[in-house]
Structure 1
């Protein structure tokens, strides 16, 4: 059993990965032809042996000769023939097709349809095969001999030929039917997919073009399923984002309306008026920030492809931007601890996206980070990515501005479109963002 399993395993591995239908059809024709030839040789040999055995039975030739002698006597009597009526006798003999007939009268050959000279026939002793027949001009001895098995041998030959052709045709049709059933099954699978069932798996058999097409359809099914899944996830994310954003917008908008009503009720107190105007300006700035984030979110979703126009070492691409970011955070009262390690690989980025990403991260740090704790910026690399890490302590009472994290969602989308990724890790008081840029060298 182990040897058989090993052989099957070897046979499976040795099969070609692809095989054309033309090759399969050629092999099918060769198989059918070989089976037909083998059947013909076996069947014809069997039938010939049977006929030889049958014709070797005792008295068979005598029986057949008597049969034809009786028919000849009937013909002679019905037409009142004489031994000299050669044309009429020839007509009957030729009609039989397999007989040799010789007529003797007074030991002389008066009619010869055997292909042998009359003188030779007169010298031979054929009396054991003679039949006495009555002609219009008297009695005569008639010698009859035939190739009796001839017709049955021919019949057996043509019967075996026909059966061999039927076998050949049947094998070919069975092979074609098998291929047609595969096409029909594939057509049914396609109808299931057209109905919208993308969970239906198209099973493939064989290595020909039909199997390749089935494999391609199955891969297309999986691709469509993944696309629809991503679309559904995007729609859900958009719905959640709109719901969250509408709630966040309502808060500053309600404050603006409230401060406006207060100003209307007591417009003369200049100190209060200036205070409320400052609060209205602050809330208006919050609304503007939210609207900018929403516009950026929509813009990232609409853009299908981006061109990575900025290529170079990590230092060439990010050094100036990180320096500007560190300087701005320092102005806002933060302590920055950069830990830049030398990286050997190169990256390619979309400059507009990088600008947006840096602005979003800077804005997030200013809004949520604790100024009493340092902001760490680290770099590193592995075989696939060069990464940039931002780490900061969160405030004890974080701001509610942009609580829907639409800015970070934009960062994730922009990093994915540039072929990289973004990991966000939020612990109790520690917030970490890792930007992963794909290495190009």
Structure 2
């Protein structure tokens, strides 16, 4: 469940990318809106630093020099029924020295009547930013104080006002700066996020290559909580699993080697003895009356060898690396009958055994493999037959509680045991208990050998 929850909480890269892009777009729109509202302040700053050119002084000198060569004819302009003319036609010199951002207004000096005017070309050209960013009212509010001077025409004196629309010079640059800034605000967080994740992905790749070379101690870096982090986490779990499997195989190999060495040592003694008796019998040496005794000893040694071969088969059965065995429901009487049968067999071999069964009224049953549980009990009692003191009492106590059954077997150790075995039987019994989610422990102290195991009980509904 925990692993599933971790996977369900993983954030998707597409979702993170969308959120970053959305937030960046919001910030970009806010920035552009702020720049739009501050466009006049930006122009004021540019103007205060003299970053825009102004040719009105040169234009004033030119205008005063050229005006005496032309008639202004203010009465013609003032007469509504008279012929009206364009400034460019009657006074062509007005536009000769004008750049695209200069506007001119001409008034009759004595009466103050309007005579003619010239609008800058920049206002006539329909740029998209003129209507959106710099409408007429905005332009009028952003123009500088007009330059005012008198000019002597051939027929009268005129008052001339020269307007500057230099603010329109910065429109394209200001607009492009806003667009570029918006693109930077939108793209930089996205590119930075992609760069970081790709750099992290490259780091994970290099660590995987290290793992592929056999170094399973170097952990995979887990950073963040997205798909790449989830992949890194799974790769690190794979690394730990591989490491555990390799370690388990190494321990299994060492255990097999230990078993082979122990069995080789244990088999050497009975085989040597068996070979000696058979050689005596084959050559008809020694006292012929002892031949039946020699044959009996040979049979006993073959029985020892057969028992050891059973131990090897049992080891292969239990220690084959499997973690699961076929199980079935077994009653409490199954284990009771098995312990009683093993106790009776001890008595037949000359041992004195006493079994004490303390069972509460527990509505439960064993859930396990009948064959393996029989082998567990058989191994423990076989161990008593081989190493136990036949003159001492063997104590078997069984206690059934609410959730488990506990069995303790205690016997005295013979002063001269037949041999010191490899304890494969005890290891096998311990493994069987573990396969049933139980446990087995043994200890030797003051000439007593005690083994205790417990198995879980399943309560009946």
> Shorter chain as normaliser: what TM range?
0.7 to 0.9
Distance in 1, matches of 2:152 and 2:354, equals 137
- Residue 371 (structure 2) aligns with: 352
1:337 to 354, 359, 373: 354
Q: Find the aligned partners of 1:193 and 1:133 in 2 and give their Cα distance.
A: 95
Cα 1:384–1:192 change in 2 (3 A) is farther
* Cα distance in 2, alignment partners of residues 68 and 436 from structure 1: 112
Q: Tell me the secondary structure at the aligned position of residue 293 of structure 2.
A: helix
Match of 1:4 in 2: none
Counterparts of residues 103-252 of structure 1 (less than 5 Å) = 128=148, 145-252=163-270
Deviation at 1:404, TM superposition (A): 1.3
What is residue 317 of structure 1 aligned with on the other side?
334
SS at match of 1:273: helix
Q: Deviations over 1:314-340 (max 9, x none)?
A: x23312212211221121222222222
SS of residue paired to 1:419? coil
How far apart in 2 are the matches of 1:352 and 1:275?
A: 36
* Paired residues of 1:385 and 1:436 also in contact (CA < 8 A): yes
User: Where does 1:265-280 land on structure 2 (aligned, <5 Å)?
Assistant: 265-266=283-284, 269-280=287-298
The CA deviation at 1:252 is 1.1
Displacement after TM superposition at 1:99 (Å): 4.7
Asked whether 1:437 is paired with 2:439, we answer no
Alignment counterpart, residue 390 of structure 2, candidates 371, 377, 385: 371
Q: 1:108 to 1:27 in 2, by over 3 A?
A: closer
Is 99-108 or 160-169 further displaced after alignment? 99-108
Tell me the SS of whatever aligns to 1:358.
helix
Unaligned runs of 5+ in 2: 1-7, 65-85, 125-145
CA distance in 1, matches of 2:178, 2:153: 40
Are the structure 2 counterparts of residues 270 and 365 from structure 1 closer, same or farther at C-alpha, using a change threshold of 3 Å?
same
Residues 106-115 or 281-290, more deviating: 106-115
Equivalent of residue 281 in structure 1, options 299, 321, 339: 299
Asked if the contact 1:133/1:141 (under 8 Å) is kept, the reply is: no
Indicate the SS of the match to 1:272: helix
2:252 is aligned with 1:260: no
Shift of 1:430: 1.5
Aligned-pair distance for 1:128?
3.7
Tell me the equivalent position of 2:12.
20
The 3-state SS of whatever aligns with 1:302 is coil
What is the CA–CA distance in structure 1 between the aligned matches of 2:11 and 2:317, rounded to whole Å?
48
CA distance in 1, matches of 2:40, 2:240: 62
Query: Residue 294 of structure 1: CA displacement?
Result: 0.8
The corresponding residue for 1:12 is none
The alignment yields a C-alpha RMSD, in angstroms, of 4.2
Correspondence for 1:413 among 421, 424, 431:
431
Structure 1: distance between partners of 2:244 and 2:352:
44
Counterpart CA distance in 2 for 1:127 and 1:201 is: 77
- Give the CA deviation at 1:272: 2.2
Q: Deviations over 1:47-101 (max 9, x none)?
A: 641422554899x99x54345678999xxxxxxxxx99759979x89x9654545
2:418 maps to 399
Q: Give unmatched runs, 5+ long, in structure 1.
A: 1-15, 74-82, 117-125, 135-139
CA–CA distance in structure 1, aligned partners of residues 266 and 21 of structure 2: 75
Measured in 2, the distance between the counterparts of 1:232 and 1:206 equals 35
Does the 8 Å CA contact 2:350/2:390 hold for their aligned counterparts?
A: yes
Could you tell which deviates more after superposition, 303-312 or 101-110?
A: 101-110
In 1, the alpha carbon distance for the partners of 2:45 and 2:274 equals: 118
Structure 1 residues 67 and 368: CA distance shift in structure 2, 3 A: farther
Specify whether residues 36 and 111 from structure 1 end up closer, same or farther in structure 2 by C-alpha distance, changes over 3 A only: closer
Between the two proteins, the alignment pairs up a number of residues equal to 402
With structure 2 as the length reference, what TM-score do the two structures score? 0.73
Q: Tell me which moved more, 181-190 or 102-111.
A: 102-111
The equivalent of 2:43 in structure 1 is: 51
Conserved? CA contact 1:244–1:404, under 8 Å: yes
The one-character-per-residue Cα deviations of 1:96-149 (angstroms, maximum 9, x if unpaired) are 654545789999968865899xxxxxxxxx994576799xxxxx9987545221
Find the counterpart in structure 2 of residue 328 from structure 1: 345
Give the TM-score normalised by the residue count of structure 1.
0.76
Q: CA deviation at 1:306?
A: 4.3
CA shift in 2, pair 1:437/1:161, >3 Å: same
